[in-house]
Amino acid sequence: MTRRIRKAVFPVAGLGTRFLPATKSIPKEMLTVVDRPVLQHVVDEAREAGIEHFIFVTGRNKAVIEDHFDIAYELEETLQKRGKLKEWQALKEDLPAAGATSFTRQQVPLGLGHAVWCARDIVGDEPFAVLLPDMVTMAAGQGRCLAQCVAAYEKHGGNIIAVEEVLADETHQYGVVSIGKDFGHTFEITGMVEKPPKGTALSNLIISGRYVLGPEIFAILEKGEKGAGGEIQLTDGMKALAKSQSFHGVRFDGKTYDCGAKLGFLAANIAFALTDPALAPLLRTELKKLTGEP
């Protein structure tokens, strides 16, 4: 019998160097996609999937993340006094329940695997989710990405990885999986490689930033074995765990925007703005002007 996924880990200690100088004073996770921080979009996805406890692995100069998920007394009081009750209510709805957030530090940037390991004592001995905060997803009808992963976990148990297709000549930039028994939307994972050399990838399915993992991964990550880039890679830890536990892939039915890259960030802003009935027609008009379309 599988257990519910109650906790999720968000590794938010990254420096955001690709967005300097903006990220000199603002964490990259707090850059906005339309009117919500990137991280808020990812937390929204976790809440929709039934997550109850949100664990943020932070670093230096990330205190604003903690403030964002806390009560802002002065702001809320001002909104109420000015009759901006819609805005006040929106803030209240976004606020996690008391005790539902935890923050821990990754003092040294030793890789994603190390960041996940830093959350070990808060996660405890239960399966948990990991959501990369750069990756913002949009549903295509079956719920957002983590909800699809949780559904796959309820079906298969074990460990779950969300995947997406890329062009064959792009696979060297990502972690790649190989396919065993195929169930259509899900499949058995028979191998994983982090950033394989060009022409050697196991498939064109890449690991896309959403995971459901067993707590046994922590003992593996604790060994501190370094992989690609001299960092403790989560993919290497999952490969070791796969020797004793099953892994299944979920072909995410939707769209992922890599908001850690400028193009993905801009595309996400346009895509989410076009889902807003009030904003969409105005934005389409502006886009036509910019592109010179009739």
216 lies in some domain: yes
Q: What is the largest CA-CA distance in the chain?
A: 62
- From CA 3, how far away is CA 174, in angstroms rounded? 30
pLDDT for the residue 140: 82
- From CA 103, how far away is CA 37, in angstroms rounded? 18
**Structural domain that includes position 249:** 7-291
249 lies in some domain: yes
199 lies in some domain: yes
Q: What does the DSSP 8-state code read for residue 294?
A: -
Helix (H, G, I), strand (E, B) or coil at 284: helix
51 lies in some domain: yes
144 lies in some domain: yes
CATH of the domain at 109: 3.90.550.10
pLDDT for the residue 80: 92
Amino acid letter, residue 205: L
**Number of independent structural domains in the chain:** 1
Long-range Cβ contact pairs of 18-26 (< 8 A, separation 24 or more): 18/260, 18/261, 18/262, 19/262, 19/265, 25/61, 26/64
pLDDT for the residue 114: 94
- From CA 258, how far away is CA 146, in angstroms rounded? 16
235 lies in some domain: yes
Residue 203, CA distances (Å) to 62, 82, 172, 194, 208 in order: 37, 56, 11, 12, 14
1 lies in some domain: no
2 lies in some domain: no
pLDDT for the residue 229: 67
- pLDDT string in tens for the chain (294-residue length): 567 899 999 999 888 888 889 888 889 999 999 999 999 999 999 999 999 999 999 988 888 999 999 998 899 999 899 999 998 888 888 889 889 999 999 988 888 999 999 999 999 999 999 999 999 999 887 789 999 999 999 999 999 999 998 888 888 888 889 999 989 889 999 988 888 888 777 888 888 899 999 999 999 999 877 666 677 889 889 999 999 999 999 999 889 999 999 999 999 999 999 999 999 999 999 999 898 877
